[in-house]
Chains A and B, each alone.
Chain A
Amino acid sequence: MLHRLLVEPFALPFMQRALIEALLLGALGGMVSVFVLLRRLAFVSDALTHTVFPGVVLGYLVAQTRGIVWGALLFAVLSAVLLTVLSANRRVTEDATLAILLTGFFSVGVVLVSRRTSYTADLTGFLFGRILFVDRREIVETAVVAAVVLVALALLGKEFLLRAFDPDGAAALGYRIPLLDLALNVLVALVVVAAVKAVGTVLVIALLVVPAAAARLLSDRLTVILPAAVAGGALAGWLGLAASYQASVYHGLRLASGATVVLALVALYALAFAAAATRRGLDRLGWLNRPAPGARAST
């Protein structure tokens, strides 16, 4: 029965391709989500998913479907830069800046759409994703982005961590904080661009926030959080697709595939939450041998 639930959906090639894409994006998102968590970039990530929207529109205007990714990329980098620059004014808090940037850009996108009336379906696709239609080329594109991000994290991961935990120390060691911040923002932007076609800009925020949040509930050690987030992201991709297939084929219910992946992520979060709560409950009952309180390391 579980074989039918978890393996059978992927008998046909289009579902296999969707699965590979979902696994890739889930793992990629999981990886980056750890840094989003550490640097509290959840809102930045959300903002980036909105600021790429006019880029998507412009890309489509210039080069149809193929142009979308380039437009998104351009605007993603542009917004990362703009954000870093605007944060220099300390009178405006970063969250206010983000909110205004996000909505300003998105409004530009809406205005562009409202003047041209010819591409709602593609637009819906970019807001909510079209993972069932990914072709080989897009999988390769995603894999390339994943590789780039992986290399960047391998090279700069320690610096990112240092900057997150001890910014003054990092500055004292000569690291240029604004450049590091910009680099991480750009990495987040790359994930957004990679995910645009699969799960859509609206739902990619989940990939960038939930895996690490769930992993964090289970442990405070980075050596655990990172693989847990990656595994959780990939697993949610698998479960979400399988659920969407099941509902569609056996119950006649259309559930958007991108959305079910996000719901799977949230379900994993709830599971982690329950596990953590159970542990605390058992702790209080004295059923676990614990070191004295206060020995927990903080992040």
Chain B
Amino acid sequence: MRTRSFSLAIAGLSTAGLLGWALAGCGPTASPSAAGSGDGPARVRVVATTTQVADFARNIGGDRIQLTQLLKPNVDPHDYEASPADVQAIALADVVVKNGVGLEKFLDEAISSAGFEGTVVDASQGVPIRTGNGTDEEKAGDPHIWQNPRNAKIMAHNIAVGLSTKDPADAALFQRNDTAYAAKLDALDRDIQTRIDALPAGQRKLVTNHDAFGYYVDRYRLQFVGSIIPSFDTSAELSGKDITDLVAKIKATGVKAIFSEASLPPKTAQTIGREAGVRVIGGEDALYGDTLGPAGSAGDTYLKMEEHNTQTIVDGLS
């Protein structure tokens, strides 16, 4: 009789033993909320969603904030899945900073699940929003507002205001950082304008992986020929008709080069480039559309990203 349940007993006993040991609770426990305390006056705990607003927050908040960034570089916001650490960070945060314009669909659920009751800073407040591409997802408009440095200034300022409200003691510091960063953004804006204007007028046309560059195109008066994925959703699969149509459009406008984004796979762009007989600029020199690049890459801060994109476009089209 005992042989029948022998192996069951072994497995059961070992599992029960583990459980008993666990519940007896030997050893000290590290409480998740203890992290970061004990080094001077408490820093503001900030959770930022996208790489861009996280970069802005870092520039504004400096070392007076403890920042958690949800989206990692090259991760499509549409594919993002919150991890336990992310939800926990939100639960323990003082301020949550988001891009807005409906980009972070996941955020509402994460916030309500975490039971967050602090301030949510919507960086898009006051930014002139372009119309979306007509899909449900873009009901609130085109979310890629950061592509125009003038919008970036507004976003950074919103973050400064939000942080100051939560932490009035450091308001002066946040204000100073905001002013300094705004100056850098102005300089960036002028620089890009100069370089784009230097391109021959007939060549200022853009074909990219997807419709992420609307604000950039509008600001610097380029012409947008079309995108390889005809919507903001980066996982829509192309049909044969889509490809044929885009190839025809490219040939018709005489565009010299098409641009692929760093966060999207180049195979589709290459297929279209081959068919249309144009250069495909991707891989290492790809544009940064949805996110900043990983640390150490050419686009790991907002300022560097805009510089890199502009240089790549100018090189490709001249």
State the A residues within 8 Å of B (CB). 1-9, 11-15, 17, 114, 116-122, 124-125, 128, 130, 132-135, 217-219, 221, 224, 228, 235, 244-245, 248-249, 252, 254-257, 271-272, 275-276, 278-279, 283, 288-290
Contact present for B87 and A11 (CB under 8 Å) = no
Q: A11-B32, A116-B136, A117-B233 are in contact. Are A248 and B85 (CB under 8 A)?
A: yes
Contact present for A118 and B233 (CB under 8 Å) = yes
Q: A4 to chain B: which residues have CB within 8 Å?
A: 27, 29-30
14 residue pairs A–B, Cβ–Cβ below 8 Å? A3-B26, A4-B30, A7-B25, A8-B30, A8-B32, A14-B88, A14-B113, A15-B84, A119-B136, A128-B81, A135-B113, A219-B8, A245-B84, A254-B83
Q: B231 to chain A: which residues have CB within 8 Å?
A: 117
Least distance between B71 CB and chain A CB atoms (Å): 11
Judged by a CB distance under 8 angstroms, whether B110 is at the interface is: yes
Least distance between B117 CB and chain A CB atoms (Å): 12
Contact present for A120 and B79 (CB under 8 Å) = yes
B-side interface mostly: helix
Judged by a CB distance under 8 angstroms, whether B237 is at the interface is: yes
Q: A117-B135, A121-B78 are in contact. Are A1 and B26 (CB under 8 A)?
A: yes
Least distance between B73 CB and chain A CB atoms (Å): 14
Contact present for A288 and B3 (CB under 8 Å) = yes
Number of residue pairs across A and B with beta carbons under 8 Å?
147
- How far apart are the CA atoms of A278 and B6 in the complex, in Å? 10
Q: A135 to chain B: which residues have CB within 8 Å?
A: 112-113
Contact with A along B106-124 (1 / 0, CB 8 A): 1001101111000000000
Contact present for B81 and A272 (CB under 8 Å) = no
Cβ-closest chain A residue relative to B233? A117
Q: A289 to chain B: which residues have CB within 8 Å?
A: 3
- How far apart are the CA atoms of A2 and B20 in the complex, in Å? 10
Contact with A along B1-40 (1 / 0, CB 8 A): 0011111101100110011011111110111100000000
Least distance between A21 CB and chain B CB atoms (Å): 12
Q: A124 to chain B: which residues have CB within 8 Å?
A: 79, 81
Contact present for B4 and A125 (CB under 8 Å) = no
Least distance between B25 CB and chain A CB atoms (Å): 4
Contact present for A248 and B83 (CB under 8 Å) = yes
Cβ-closest chain B residue relative to A282? B6
Contact present for B11 and A218 (CB under 8 Å) = yes
- How far apart are the CA atoms of A228 and B106 in the complex, in Å? 37
Q: A12 to chain B: which residues have CB within 8 Å?
A: 32, 87-88, 91, 114-115
Known: A2-B21, A120-B78. 13 other contacts (CB 8 A): A3-B25, A6-B22, A6-B23, A7-B22, A13-B115, A15-B88, A114-B239, A120-B79, A132-B113, A133-B109, A248-B85, A271-B14, A275-B8
Least distance between A239 CB and chain B CB atoms (Å): 10
Top-4 shortest CB links A-B: A3-B25, A2-B22, A248-B85, A118-B137
A-side interface mostly: helix
57-77 of chain B: CB within 8 A of chain A: 77
- How far apart are the CA atoms of A54 and B115 in the complex, in Å? 32
Cβ-closest chain A residue relative to B14? A271
- How far apart are the CA atoms of A101 and B127 in the complex, in Å? 50
Least distance between A88 CB and chain B CB atoms (Å): 36
Cβ-closest chain B residue relative to A5? B22
Contact present for B8 and A218 (CB under 8 Å) = yes
- How far apart are the CA atoms of A135 and B14 in the complex, in Å? 34
Q: A219-B4, A275-B7, A279-B6 are in contact. Are A3 and B22 (CB under 8 A)?
A: yes
Contact present for A14 and B91 (CB under 8 Å) = yes
Partner of A249, one of B4, B25, B84, B114: B84
Contact present for A120 and B233 (CB under 8 Å) = yes
Cβ-closest chain A residue relative to B110? A133
Contact present for A7 and B236 (CB under 8 Å) = no
Cβ-closest chain B residue relative to A215? B8
Judged by a CB distance under 8 angstroms, whether B105 is at the interface is: yes
Least distance between A32 CB and chain B CB atoms (Å): 21
Contact present for A133 and B82 (CB under 8 Å) = yes
Q: B31 to chain A: which residues have CB within 8 Å?
A: 8, 11
- How far apart are the CA atoms of A275 and B235 in the complex, in Å? 45
Q: Most chain-A Cβ atoms within 10 A of its Cβ — which of B31, B77, B81, B233? A: B81
Least distance between A225 CB and chain B CB atoms (Å): 10
Q: Most chain-A Cβ atoms within 10 A of its Cβ — which of B30, B109, B110? A: B109
- How far apart are the CA atoms of A283 and B105 in the complex, in Å? 58
Partner of B114, one of A1, A14, A271: A14
Least distance between B237 CB and chain A CB atoms (Å): 5
Q: B30 to chain A: which residues have CB within 8 Å?
A: 4, 8
Contact present for B105 and A114 (CB under 8 Å) = no
Q: B82 to chain A: which residues have CB within 8 Å?
A: 132-133
Least distance between A277 CB and chain B CB atoms (Å): 9
Cβ-closest chain A residue relative to B108? A133
Contact present for B11 and A275 (CB under 8 Å) = yes
Contact present for A118 and B10 (CB under 8 Å) = no
Partner of A290, one of B3, B5, B106: B3
- How far apart are the CA atoms of A271 and B11 in the complex, in Å? 7
Q: Most chain-B Cβ atoms within 10 A of its Cβ — which of A118, A228, A235? A: A118
Least distance between B116 CB and chain A CB atoms (Å): 10
